[in-house]
Amino acid sequence: MLPISSATGQWTNPLIALFTSTTSTCVTGLVVVDTYNYFSIFGQVIILCLIQIGGLGIITVISMIMLITQKKFSLGDRKMLQESLNLDTDVGILRILIRISKDVFKVELVGAILYSIVFIPDFGVAKGIWYSVFHSISAFCNAGIDIIGDSSLIAYKENPLVMITTMLLIILGGLGYVVWFDMSEKIKAGIKKGFTPVQIFKRFEEHTKLVVTVTSVLIVSGALFFFVAEYNNYGTIGDLSLFHKIMNSFFESITLRTAGFCSFPQENMTDFSCLMSYMLMFIGGSPIGTAGGVKTVTIFLAVLNVVSYIRGDDQSIVFHKRVTEESMRKATVIVSVAAFTIIVLTLALIITNPINIQDALYEVISASATVGLSRGLTSNLNKIGQILIIIAMYLGRIGPISLAIFFAGRGHHKSKCRYTEGDFFVG
């Protein structure tokens, strides 16, 4: 809110400041004012810091600061960090934290260098470097906030370096640290032993195999659907060459997985593409990464749960490994609660704002999945609408199921008695 944060040197409206702070920390990307035009360099630095904190995770960032300042880690600190990174043990947890810090810095540095090849000639040395650093961190953290202009990356939709760099940063951020480490170790070992790509893939952990497989299928299938649906649509990719149509189709498929950058106006898409966007945004990225959504593994297990029930299987097997009942139940609950939350917030947005259901649903899914894409609606929402989107972004980042468990005071309610079974007719 400080005057130093705005380009005009005036105090910022509290709701605008709260919205911007939430979209940055929750790495969403929806904005009610143009970041490049409204905020000063100081304000943009604050936004970038919030993006980095939100992308890495609050617990991870605090732990990094403790490491840098040489603070001692208590057993509770280690357990909390273990939970935030979803690890089985806290053995070597600090070594993993250091590795995450180094790898994130390396990836963001390489991304900034690649961006600078284009941005320095376009904006000069100082601005070019700043823009490169900002967009590299924003892309890796899947935030989608840009400071180039009011049209995201539309001006660069025919620039392969900017588009491909952005896509790679989004994918790397969305895969998750666990997948990073497993892939890097197995690939290095496989190259030394002369293994084929297939042999290396077979040696990945089952979680890595599932993440890579589902992510690849979603990216390729999404790109194919967008390419076909938008091929002759001059409002999106219809006026581009074949190569650029393919590149922008892949970009749209990837950015919808919670990144938030766009290479064409989202409101110009066909209804079919809009429906595809709903599904891709809802799914999001992968666990223990910078992406949002219900996550790739979660949606896979939820679908597998349905398939297993229909087939009458007494257990669910993925890559020759049995999926636990708890994992299947958790996945189904997460998807159900997320879908219910989206429906409620969409209805509330329609009631409080004179908008159609297509745009409202797109906005709410984008916010709750921390995507950040909009059909030109965000800045036109009234105060109640903006507050609803703030709630959606917040719930999307921490997870509605986590909030429900927190307020419910989850405990172990194991009854010593067992009731007789009742006859309840389902379906």
Residue pLDDT, tens place only, 135-168:
999 999 888 888 987 788 889 999 999 999 999 9
pLDDT digits (tens, 9 = 90+) for 82-140: 666 666 666 667 777 788 888 888 999 999 999 999 999 999 999 999 999 999 999 99
Query: Does residue 269 sit within a domain?
Result: yes
- State residue 413's pLDDT score: 57
Query: Does residue 421 sit within a domain?
Result: no
The total number of residues written for the chain in this structure: 427
- Over residues 405-423, the mean pLDDT reads 65
Query: Does residue 415 sit within a domain?
Result: no
- State residue 387's pLDDT score: 94
Query: Does residue 397 sit within a domain?
Result: yes
State what percent of residues in the chain have pLDDT above 70.
92
Domain ranges, residue 123: 3-404
For residues 176 and 287, the answer to whether their CB atoms sit within 8 Å is yes
Query: Does residue 420 sit within a domain?
Result: no
Structure tokens at 187: 């690939």
pLDDT digits (tens, 9 = 90+) for 273-303: 999 999 999 998 887 777 778 888 889 999 9
For residues 224 and 245, the answer to whether their CB atoms sit within 8 Å is no
Residue that wins the pLDDT comparison between 307 and 63: 307
Residue that wins the pLDDT comparison between 393 and 180: 393
- State residue 89's pLDDT score: 60
| Number of structural domains found in the chain | 1
Question: Helix 125-140 crosses helix 160-175 at what angle (to 10 degrees)?
Answer: 40
| Tokens 């280690």 found at | 78
For residues 391 and 20, the answer to whether their CB atoms sit within 8 Å is no
| Tokens 């965000």 found at | 378
417 has pLDDT over 90: no
Lowest-pLDDT range, 10-24, 79-93, 232-246, 356-370? 79-93
- Give the residue among 380, 424, 426, 367 at the shortest CA–CA distance from 22: 367
How far is Cα 303 from Cα 323, in angstroms, rounded to an integer?
Answer: 13
State what percent of residues in the chain have pLDDT above 90.
44
- State residue 415's pLDDT score: 66
Query: Does residue 102 sit within a domain?
Result: yes
333 has pLDDT over 80: yes
For all residues of the chain together, what is the average pLDDT? 86
Q: Confidence band (pLDDT; 50, 70, 90) for 221?
A: very high
For the four alpha carbons of 62, 63, 64 and 65, in that order, the dihedral sign comes to positive
How far is Cα 159 from Cα 156, in angstroms, rounded to an integer?
Answer: 5
353 has pLDDT over 70: yes
Query: Does residue 238 sit within a domain?
Result: yes
- Give the residue among 113, 114, 107 at the shortest CA–CA distance from 177: 107
Q: Model's pTM, two decimal places?
A: 0.86
- State residue 376's pLDDT score: 86
- State residue 409's pLDDT score: 54
219 has pLDDT over 70: yes
- State residue 260's pLDDT score: 82
Q: With helix as H, strand as E and coil as C, how does the chain read?
A: CCHHHECCCCCCCHHHHHHHHHHHHCCCCCCCCCHHHHECHHHHHHHHHHHHHHHHCHHHHHHHHHHHCCCCCCHHHHHHHHHHCCCCCCCCHHHHHHHHHHHHHHHHHHHHHHHHHHHHHHHCHHHHHHHHHHHHHHHHCCCCCCCCCCCCCHHHCCCHHHHHHHHHHHHHHHHCHHHHHHHHHHHHHHHHHCCCHHHHHHCCCHHHHHHHHHHHHHHHHHHHHHHHHHCCCCCCCCCCCHHHHHHHHHHHHHHCCCCCCCCCCHHHCCHHHHHHHHHHHHHCCCCCCCCCCCCHHHHHHHHHHHHHHHHCCCCEEECCEEECHHHHHHHHHHHHHHHHHHHHHHHHHHHHCCCCHHHHHHHHHHHHCCCCCCCCCHHHCCHHHHHHHHHHHHHHHHCHHHHHHHHHCCCCCCCCCCCCCCCCCCC
**22 φ/ψ angles, rounded to the nearest 5 degrees:** -65, -45
- State residue 115's pLDDT score: 96
